[in-house]
């Protein structure tokens, strides 16, 4: 590698032999050819350049390489995988091979009705040929159904990702979708697939990312780490012909003969973009590299922005997020049965057992009378039974010292006073969100009503436990502490148990956060980035959280980020390689 103007070290190249081969074969030619074209010299050259190394960009690279294309992957972080590697690796697909083998019919017409009804509820029109969407968004969403299973089968056939080692996600029964109760959902369970090593383990998403990277290494396609793309290069006709990148302070120009695919993640850790486009994000499970790099690059290249306000949402423990925006865990499925959420007025405001994406949206409710967001933060109230019986199921601690933001009191009044004092210390970060004078009376009334609902087994206010999602996910994520001193619940609804008549009582303040954002440039059914006239920008592609989610505002089910990322990455890689 002596004399290589890119300055690539062993650490910067995951697939070292591939990098050397590509460099030796292209550097001299690229420099002379591009100089003749008036483009300036290129340091590297490939058919397809993939930016990022998670599910979207990794799949794009594998798909392009399967068509015989030379590929280079650029990753700005010092490790591969992005947020995919941090995830459980669950991937959600319509009409996947396991369902097909089981004879389960997941028809396209029904699947599209479910996806549009859930993802675009304000536009959904069952009588419309495009279900109320414009043609571009309809065809783009349609591609998820059309190509998802093909992507799975091809990755498995190549040996890139062993999808045959995936299984239906869940412990005892197939996982319900996040809107299993919608009448449009004709296959409400079993679309989520998990790696055989187990969702939630460190090997879940990491295994997926590593398998993609290992395949690229085997076929000698390089992955350059510590390489941040800073510019998209276009020729005089407007075609994307390459990128410029910063590699530890050195400029690296990489030519793309066929196309550039971005799969760089969302912008959860770009505070400015979040304040401009998100209802609010206190913290995120996304890796710190999720800073929305693609948005300004795509804008400069003439891209049309889709909805920038989409996000994959979760509640977060506020104190934890204020200490470090890059949180370890979100409050995904709230554990406990003698537990409720209340707003600044002490009123319940959501079904506490709904999925994290939809439940978090309740934080954004606007009160036009008080000109305020009463649910901007929520207070999770629970008793010693829930704390002990479900201890260790985040955010409930098995040992109290494990949760530094836990508030404890012998009485509810003591808990409420301590919560308000805690909020006073955070006021500069929360718009001075504080408990209102009527909080204590309303919260005690809400607890009393809830106790009655728990005894009856029905929640007339928020229908907690009425849907399969509520009860099944409660069983999985409200795991019993084997050392608990409390007996199992004997009440008719497994998600509800009356609060104890005596303390101690507890509270944890929750705020809105994200797994990552899901807004960005608009793509079409070929994963091509569009210009303001809805025409593809030649040579530019996007997939994953860096583009506007084709599924809209819906988190269709567990793995609802990775399934589309794999699918649109696959579509992008194939189209770029064949162009």
Model pLDDT for residues 188-221, shown as the tens digit of each residue: 999 999 876 544 444 677 888 999 999 999 999 9
On whether the CB atoms of residues 57 and 73 are closer than 8 A, the answer is: yes
d(CA 66, CA 328): 36
- Which domains, ranges and CATH numbers included, belong to the chain? 315-514 (3.90.700.10)
SS3 360: helix
Per-residue pLDDT at 314 exceeds 60: yes
On whether the CB atoms of residues 562 and 91 are closer than 8 A, the answer is: yes
* pLDDT value, residue 194: 86
* pLDDT value, residue 37: 40
* pLDDT value, residue 12: 52
Between 60 and 168, residue with greater pLDDT: 60
Measured in degrees and rounded to the nearest 5, phi and psi for residue 164 equal: -70, -15
* pLDDT value, residue 88: 84
DSSP state of 41: -
* pLDDT value, residue 29: 32
* pLDDT value, residue 20: 33
In this prediction, what percent of the chain has a pLDDT beyond 90?
A: 86
* pLDDT value, residue 172: 73
Q: Which helix (H) or strand (E) holds 225?
A: none
Count other Cβ atoms within 10 Å, centred on residue 147: 20
Using the structure block, give the residue that is written with the tokens 């449009």: 184
Instruction: Please report the DSSP string for 236-252 in residue order.
Output: TTS-EEEEEEEETTEEE
Span 423-481, pLDDT tens digits: 999 999 999 999 999 999 999 999 999 999 999 999 999 999 999 999 999 998 899 99
C-alpha closest to that of 69 among 211, 213, 216: 216
100-114 average pLDDT score: 97
* pLDDT value, residue 196: 65
* pLDDT value, residue 171: 64
* pLDDT value, residue 574: 98
* pLDDT value, residue 197: 58
* pLDDT value, residue 151: 96
Span 33-48, pLDDT tens digits: 333 343 679 999 999 9
322-351 average pLDDT score: 97
DSSP state of 405: T
Alpha helix (H) residue ranges in 166-228:
204-218
Using the structure block, give the residue that is written with the tokens 């969702």: 199
* pLDDT value, residue 10: 38
d(CA 163, CA 160): 9
* pLDDT value, residue 21: 33
157-180 average pLDDT score: 87
Using the structure block, give the residue that is written with the tokens 């994200």: 514
Per-residue pLDDT at 308 exceeds 60: yes
* pLDDT value, residue 492: 97
On whether the CB atoms of residues 534 and 136 are closer than 8 A, the answer is: yes
d(CA 148, CA 160): 16
Measured in degrees and rounded to the nearest 5, phi and psi for residue 58 equal: -65, -45
Per-residue pLDDT at 23 exceeds 70: no
* pLDDT value, residue 40: 76
Per-residue pLDDT at 354 exceeds 80: yes
How many CA atoms does the CB half-sphere of 156 hold within 13 Å? Answer: 14
Among 76-90, 144-158, 490-504, which stretch is predicted with the lowest mean pLDDT?
76-90
16-28 average pLDDT score: 34
Average pLDDT over the chain, rounded to whole? 92
* pLDDT value, residue 495: 98
Span 246-301, pLDDT tens digits: 999 999 999 999 999 999 999 999 999 999 999 999 999 999 999 999 999 999 99
* pLDDT value, residue 473: 93
Per-residue pLDDT at 242 exceeds 80: yes
In this prediction, what percent of the chain has a pLDDT beyond 70?
A: 92
d(CA 424, CA 408): 17
Per-residue pLDDT at 164 exceeds 80: no
* pLDDT value, residue 305: 98
Count other Cβ atoms within 10 Å, centred on residue 442: 18
Per-residue pLDDT at 1 exceeds 60: no
Span 3-13, pLDDT tens digits: 333 334 434 55
Q: Quick one: three-class SS letters along 83-148?
A: HHHHCCCCEECCCCHHHHHHCCCCCHHHHHHHHHHHHCCCCCCCCCCCCCCCHHHHHHHHHHHHHH
C-alpha closest to that of 155 among 97, 198, 202: 97
Between 329 and 27, residue with greater pLDDT: 329
> What is the pTM for the complete model shown?
0.93
* pLDDT value, residue 87: 87
Count other Cβ atoms within 10 Å, centred on residue 548: 23
C-alpha closest to that of 34 among 231, 300, 257: 257
Residues across the chain: 579
Count other Cβ atoms within 10 Å, centred on residue 446: 21
């Amino acid at each position: 590698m002596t004399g290589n103007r890119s300055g690539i070290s062993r650490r910067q190249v995951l697939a070292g032999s591939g990098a050397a081969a590509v460099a030796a074969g292209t550097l001299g030619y690229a420099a002379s050819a591009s100089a003749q074209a008036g483009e300036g010299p290129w340091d590297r050259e490939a058919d397809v350049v993939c930016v990022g190394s998670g599910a979207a960009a990794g799949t794009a690279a594998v798909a392009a390489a399967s068509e015989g294309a030379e590929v280079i992957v650029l990753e700005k972080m010092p490790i591969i995988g992005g947020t995919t590697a941090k995830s459980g690796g669950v991937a959600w697909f319509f009409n996947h091979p396991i369902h097909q083998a089981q004879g389960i019919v997941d028809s396209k017409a029904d699947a599209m009705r479910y996806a549009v009804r859930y993802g675009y509820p304000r536009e959904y029109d069952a009588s419309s040929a495009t279900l109320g969407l414009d043609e571009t968004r309809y065809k783009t969403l349609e591609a998820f159904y059309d190509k998802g299973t093909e992507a799975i089968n091809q990755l498995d056939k190549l040996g890139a990702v062993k999808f045959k080692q995936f299984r239906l996600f869940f412990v005892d029964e197939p996982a319900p979708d996040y809107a299993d109760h919608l009448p449009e959902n004709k296959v409400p369970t079993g679309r989520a697939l998990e790696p055989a090593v187990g969702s939630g383990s460190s090997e879940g998403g990491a295994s997926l990312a590593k398998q993609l990277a290992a395949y690229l290494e085997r076929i000698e396609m390089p992955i350059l780490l510590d390489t941040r793309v800073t510019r998209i290069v276009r020729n005089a006709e407007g075609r994307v012909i390459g990128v410029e990148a910063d590699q530890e302070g050195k400029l690296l120009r990489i030519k793309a003969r066929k196309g550039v695919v971005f799969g760089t993640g969302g912008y959860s850790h770009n505070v400015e973009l979040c304040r401009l486009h998100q209802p609010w994000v206190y913290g995120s499970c996304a890796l710190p590299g999720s800073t929305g790099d693609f948005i300004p690059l795509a804008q400069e290249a003439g891209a049309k922005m889709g909805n920038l306000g989409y996000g994959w949402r979760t509640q977060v423990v506020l104190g934890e997020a204020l200490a470090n925006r890059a949180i370890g865990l979100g409050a995904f499925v709230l554990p406990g049965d003698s537990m409720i959420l209340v707003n600044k007025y002490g009123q319940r405001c959501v079904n506490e057992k709904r999925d994290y994406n939809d439940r978090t949206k309740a934080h954004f409710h606007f009160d036009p009378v008080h000109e305020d967001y009463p649910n901007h933060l929520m207070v999770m109230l629970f008793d010693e039974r829930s704390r002990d019986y479900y201890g260790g199921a985040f955010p409930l601690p098995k040992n109290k010292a494990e949760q530094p933001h836990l508030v404890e009191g012998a009485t509810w009044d003591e808990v409420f006073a301590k919560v308000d004092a805690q909020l006073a210390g955070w006021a500069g970060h929360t718009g001075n969100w504080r408990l209102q004078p009527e909080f204590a009376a309303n919260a005690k009334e809400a607890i009393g009503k809830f106790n009655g609902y728990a005894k009856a087994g029905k929640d007339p206010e928020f229908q907690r436990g009425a849907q399969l999602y509520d009860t099944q996910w409660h069983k999985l994520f409200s795991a019993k502490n084997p050392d608990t001193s409390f007996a199992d619940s004997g009440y008719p609804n497994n998600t509800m148990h009356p609060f104890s008549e005596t303390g101690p009582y507890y509270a944890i303040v929750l705020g809105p956060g994200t797994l990552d954002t899901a807004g960005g440039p608009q793509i079409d059914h070929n994963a091509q980035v569009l210009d303001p006239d809805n025409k593809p920008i030649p040579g530019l592609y996007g997939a994953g959280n860096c583009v506007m989610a084709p599924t809209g505002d819906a988190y269709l089910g567990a793995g609802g980020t990775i399934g589309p990322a794999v699918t649109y990455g696959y579509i992008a890689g194939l189209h770029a390689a064949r162009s």
